[in-house]
Structures are given as structure tokens and as C-alpha cells.
Structure 1
């Protein structure tokens, strides 16, 4: 794949600006923190992917590459290609694969909604919380279906509805003063694939079969203690306070710190989360 700036579909331009801008930069800088937050989901996600020793794997929205490296290690006679809209995260992913000696992990900046993969290029497509941001998910999943060989496997981890995720309920309440955000199925965002009926219809319409969703729930780790977690969350979501006066900003920051302190435990600050483990096959 080319190292040139990738083609981005017009419906994904806002996502590209965010992920190849400050948001992606924050994720790249705090790669270990984000990987730790999702660490308890990784064993079930990796097992569901069922990667074989000679498989060719595509990792969609690979971020800084932990899931790509895991796939590559599981396929020593194959390879794993991680793609993401964030050039900074791709850079970190390459550095980490080289440092770990995972030579069959490759990375490229790409919009999988429009990237011209070869027909049947992959045995497996995986995406851990990276497939919810397509402007046209029907087009993106059809492209991924085409990129899989017949019988090839798709494995996704996507969030369940916001109301089922304690972390976003708490952050929205304390920082924005609102309830959890809605889960619109036709707008890109963390909860766009939270409705099982919508996911089944979307994947079956793209050509997949044997679509299954299994509910999984794990705590997410946000920091060593309340102050550590507060700095991390504010770095990610502090924009929610940007239009407020100093007194209200301080009040909401204090409310968030109190919430985080109430969730301190032996594993650090943890908040509950719930996701779907989605599996499907290309016909």
C-alpha cells in the first residue's frame, strides 16, 4: 500500500480530520493508557477471530497496533495489515512492531470505505472498537466483504448502547450535565453499531452470513488513582467544558473527580462497560 496521503471518502472527512489531528495525536501519545482500558476485552476478541497460522489478516482502525501485532503473532506463516486514518497512530504502530520484532505486521494509513483492496485478499478482518466511525458503513462493509476470500471471517468489538456503559454515562453527566448520548445507527460515532438488529441488517446487506452478536462486559481502567484518571479523561474530553465559565468548569471537574475517586480499587480507577462481540463470514 502507498505511503502517500490516502484517498478519503467525503463522508469520512470529519473523521479523518479528527483522527489525523489532535484526537488521533492524543491516542498516539497515550497508547498504553488506551490499550490498558480495553485490555480485558482482548482475550475474548482474539479468540473469536480464530486466526490461523498462515492467515492474511486485515485490522481495521488498528490504532497503535496492539491487535495487529497479536494477529501477526498468531499467523507466523501469514501476515497482518493494520490500517487507520491516523498517521500518528500508524507511526507508533510501526515503531512498536519493530521494537517487538513482529516482522509480519504491516501498517498503512487508509480509509477502508474506499481503499481498493484486491478481491479475496484476506482470510480474516478484525476491528476492536474501530468499525463504528464510517460515514457510509454499508459501503465500508461491502468493501470489506469483497476483500475477504469466500468463507473468510469478520470479527468486531463494538460498544453496546451508551446507557449500558457506565463510563460514558458518568462522563456525560459530570462534564456535560446531560444523560448518555443517543445511539443513532446512521451517524458515525462510538455507539453507531450498538443496535443488534441494525448490525445484522447492515452486515447481511453487505454480503455477510452467519452474523452473530454475543454480549460481553468488562471494567475499563482509567488510571492509577482519581487524580491520574482525571488528567487522562480531561485530556480526552475536556472540550466538553470549553464554553463554560471558570466557576462552572471547576464545579464539573470536581464532580468528575469525585466520581473517579468513588471507583478507585485495587486495579486502579475502573468503570463498567458493555460491548458486542460480532462475528460473521463472507459467503
Structure 2
């Protein structure tokens, strides 16, 4: 699984705050959207001693790794599904808590997606999301992309910052049947590795940046790699390569 980017290491500081905000109860039935390799799902399962946790993701390799880790750690109350949460028919009013660590920003129709997700939640169930704030507040997105493109133009395609505006996000959730929407600022760095060489390899495992390089000719790609190494060197301090970031923890309740 060495070709998988280590999101758990990247987001360690974010995850500590997210886990505290989720506050999984011992009897909770938890749905984890965009679970990746399942760290947040497994943490939910450990807390839900007499409950359960279901992790959902589109990536088969990540889910394979999630299942392997859950088995190695002896977790019997966790399962995983390969599915698109926008459309998947979850069991109705099944879950007490829905969590997602950076897994809900790419919905083509977010109101329809959250409405679908809401059907799986019991009345008054909690929703806890971790989402990025605006692109220009996230150095990991702006600085690294500029090294690979030598330009600061906003990219097209799936937008990791689609839920950055609290007013927009609150409107989406309200339209989807959620109430009591609140936002908590998270200002923690992301981590790309213990040294520049490790960070370089890690960044190039990210699909967005891999795709950017693939669009360049050989000379331009080599220049981009050189710029990337220089940028990573400049951020190598205090035991690792870190970039500034800002996120929101969004909480809400399913309407009664």
C-alpha cells in the first residue's frame, strides 16, 4: 500500500480536534463518509463499545487497507462499504451520528447528497464534518500548486473548498433537513513527512498534483519538480515538513 498517500499522518493534529468534536457515545451507531483507510471509523468503533461504525468510501484500495487494519486491531463492530454517499441507499433512520473528515466537499449536488445522507439518520442525530476553509487560507493548496504550475490560477474540477463559506454551507444543510448548524475554526498545520525527500514523494502521490505533472512536457515537469523540492525544503523545520492550513468543524442536527 505504499502508493497510498498517508492522510492520517498529514491530518494528525486536525484529527485530534475532530475526534473530540465527534464525541462518539458508547451506544452510537456511526456512519463515516469518505473514510479513506478508516482511521476515523476505527476510532468511532472503539468509542462505540456497544454500538457500531460503518465506513464508506469510493476507493477500493483504501477500503482494502481499512479492512486489513481493522482486522489486525481486532475490531469486530466496524464494517466498510464501497459506495457513493450521494446516491447510496443507506438503511433509513439507522444512525445516531454521521461523521466525515474532509469527505463531503465533492458532491455534485450537495443539497441532494446531504438529503440522502439525512434519511439514514434518526431524528435529532448529529452531523460532524471537517471541511477546508477558503483556498487562500490553505498554504498547502496554494504554495504547492504554484510550484507545479508556476501560476496561481484557480483549478477546475472537483473543489475541496466547496464548503468553505459558512453561509453557503449552512444554507445547504438547512435545505437538506439539518438544524443548529455551527462552525468551529481549526488552525493547524498539515504534515507531509519527516524530511523534504519523504514529503516530495508524498506530494506526488496526491492525484491532483500527479495529474498536474502529467500535463507538462518533460522539461517543464522537471522544472516543476525542482521548484517543488525548493518549496518543501523551505518548509522543513521542527522535525518535519509542515504547511499552514485552516478548516472548519461543522456540527448540526437532523431535524426532528
The answer to whether TM tops 0.5 is yes
By relative contact order (CA 8 Å, sep 6+), the higher-ranking structure is 2
Structure 2 residue corresponding to 1:241, chosen from 196, 213, 217 = 213
Structure 1 residue corresponding to 2:24, chosen from 51, 61, 65 = 51
CA contact (8 A) 2:192 2:199 kept: yes
Q: Secondary structure at the match of 1:218?
A: coil
Bigger mean CA deviation after superposition, 195-204 or 43-52: 43-52
Matched with 1:228 is 198
Residue 91, structure 1, aligned to residue 64, structure 2:
yes
Q: Secondary structure at the match of 1:273?
A: coil
CA contact (8 A) 1:163 1:180 kept: no
Q: Secondary structure at the match of 1:57?
A: strand
In the alignment, structure 1 segments of 5+ residues that lack a partner are 1-25
Structure 1 residue corresponding to 2:9, chosen from 23, 28, 36 = 36
Matched with 1:21 is none
Matched with 1:191 is 161
Q: Secondary structure at the match of 2:189?
A: strand
Return the offset for 1:30.
2.7
Return the offset for 1:189.
2.4
CA contact (8 A) 1:172 1:180 kept: no
Residue 259, structure 1, aligned to residue 231, structure 2:
yes
* TM-score between both structures, scaled by the size of structure 1: 0.85
Distance in 2 (CA, whole Å) between partners of 1:112 and 1:242 is 29
State the Cα RMSD in Å: 1.6
Matched with 2:101 is 128
Distance in 1 (CA, whole Å) between partners of 2:29 and 2:154 is 37
Matched with 2:252 is 280
Summarize deviations over 1:207-239 as a string: whole Å, max 9, x none.
000001111111111122111111221232132
Matched with 2:240 is 268
Matched with 1:143 is 116
Distance in 2 (CA, whole Å) between partners of 1:103 and 1:180 is 47
Q: 1:256 to 1:29 in 2, by over 3 A?
A: closer
Return the offset for 1:44.
1.1
Bigger mean CA deviation after superposition, 218-227 or 156-165: 218-227
Residue 208, structure 1, aligned to residue 182, structure 2:
no
CA contact (8 A) 2:45 2:77 kept: yes
* TM-score between both structures, scaled by the size of structure 2: 0.94
Bigger mean CA deviation after superposition, 71-80 or 219-228: 219-228
In the alignment, structure 2 segments of 5+ residues that lack a partner are none
Summarize deviations over 1:225-271 as a string: whole Å, max 9, x none.
11111122123213212233333222221111111001111331111
Q: 1:247 to 1:278 in 2, by over 3 A?
A: same
Distance in 1 (CA, whole Å) between partners of 2:34 and 2:226 is 34
Matched with 1:172 is 145
